[in-house]
Amino acid sequence: MGWRVVTVRVPRYQELARVLTARIRAGDYPVGCTLPTEQELCAAFGASRHTVRDALRILSDTGLVHRRQGMGSRVIGAGPPPGFVQDVGSLRDLTSYAAGERFAFHRCAMVVPDAAETALLGPAPGGRWLFVEGLRLAPEGHPVAHAQAYIHADFADLEPVLPTLTTPYNERIEASYGRAVDEVIQEIAAAPFPASSAAALGRAPGTLAIRVMRRYLEAGGTPLLIGVNWVPPETFQFAMRIRRADRS
C-alpha cells in the first residue's frame, strides 16, 4: 500500500494558535509588540473568547508571548522552526494532540506484537492488535514524525475506514463503541530509531530519536489504544502548564 495523505480535524483553539504562531514567525507580530486584544481576536477570527484564551495559552506555554492581566499579550520570541510540538494543559489537549494538520497514512494490518514490541508496549492484553503507521506532516508538507498505533482487537473492524479517517482514533472508538478514554499515560524518552521509522524519515537506523508513547486507558485500565511517535530530536518541543494546587 502506498502513502495516502488525509487532512485531520484540528480543534479550533489549536488552529487559531497555529495561525497566530505563523504570523509571529512571519514578522506580522514582531518581538516586542502586543497582540490584538482578546475582543479584537474574537472579531477577526469569528471565535469565542474561550477559544481565543486557549489559543493564547498555547502561545504563552511555548514561549512566544508573555501575558499579563490588563496589559495584553506581548510577543517575546519567534520560537523554533515548525516541527513536532506538543502543548499540554489538560486531558483535552493530550487526547486532541493526535489531531495533526495532515497525516500521510501508510498501512494497517492485524499483527501479533513480537518480543521487541511487547517490551515497548508494556502491560497490555495479549493476542492480536490492529497496527497502523504513517507520517505526521508539518503544514509545509515535510515529515516531522513517524507515527505508529496499536488499536485493541475489539475495534478491528475499523480497519477499512482508517486510511481516510479525519478524527483522532480515540474519538472514533468512543463514537462507534461507546468506550471512552478515562486516563492517558504518556512517556517521553530518548531511544534509537527503529529501522522502519528511520527509513520513513530518512535517518540512519540506530540514530537517536525522541520516542513519545501514550497509552489510552478506559476505566479499569484496559488499553484501548497505544500510540508511539518517533521524532527527530531537533524538531521536538514539549510544553506543560502547571498550576499551584492551592490556587483559587
Q: Tell me the per-residue pLDDT of 143-159, one tens digit each, with 9 for 90 and over.
A: 889 999 999 999 999 99
Q: What pLDDT does residue 97 have?
A: 47
Distance CA 162, CA 8 (A): 12
And the C-alpha cell for 239? 510544553
The arithmetic mean of pLDDT across residues 83-88, rounded, is 52
User: What confidence category does residue 100 fall into, taking pLDDT thresholds of 50, 70 and 90?
Assistant: very low
* Average predicted confidence (pLDDT) for the chain: 82
Q: What is the pLDDT of residues 191-205, one digit of tens each?
A: 999 999 999 999 988
Distance CA 225, CA 3 (A): 22
Residue 247 reports pLDDT greater than 60: no
- CB atoms near residue 246 (< 10 Å): 5
And the C-alpha cell for 241? 502548564
Strands 208-217 and 223-231, by their bridges, are antiparallel
- Please tell me the least confidently modeled range out of 103-107, 165-169, 220-224: 165-169
Q: What pLDDT does residue 96 have?
A: 53
Q: What pLDDT does residue 240 have?
A: 67
- CB atoms near residue 182 (< 10 Å): 14
Q: What is the pLDDT of residues 31-82, one digit of tens each?
A: 889 999 999 999 999 999 999 998 898 888 777 888 887 788 999 877 655 5
